[in-house]
Amino acid sequence: MYRNSNMKGNLTVNNTNTNNATTAYFATIAGFPILSEDETKRLVKLAQSGDKDAAEQVINCHLKLAVKIASSYVRPGFDLMEAVSYANEGLIDSVMKWNPDTSTKFVSYASRCMASKLRDGTRSERLQPISDYAWRELSQVKKARAEYYQMYECEPSEWDLADMLGGKFTPEKVRDLLDWSYNPDSFDCELGDEDSLSLEDVTGVEDDYALDF
| Per-residue pLDDT band at 10 (split at 50, 70, 90) | very low
- Residue range 19-125 in CATH 3.40.1170.10: no
Average pLDDT for the chain:
75
| Per-residue pLDDT band at 184 (split at 50, 70, 90) | very low
Residue 5 pLDDT greater than 80, yes or no: no
Question: Rounded to an integer, what distance in angstroms lies between the CA atom of residue 189 and that of residue 59?
Answer: 26
Quick one: what percent of the chain has pLDDT higher than 90? 38
Average pLDDT over residues 184-196: 35
Question: Rounded to an integer, what distance in angstroms lies between the CA atom of residue 198 and that of residue 126?
Answer: 27
Residue 70 pLDDT greater than 60, yes or no: yes
Give the number of other Cβ atoms within 10 Å of residue 38's Cβ: 9
Contacts (Cβ under 8 Å, ≥6 apart) of 35? 43, 57, 58, 61, 62
Average pLDDT over residues 80-103: 92
DSSP code of residue 103: S
Average pLDDT over residues 22-40: 90
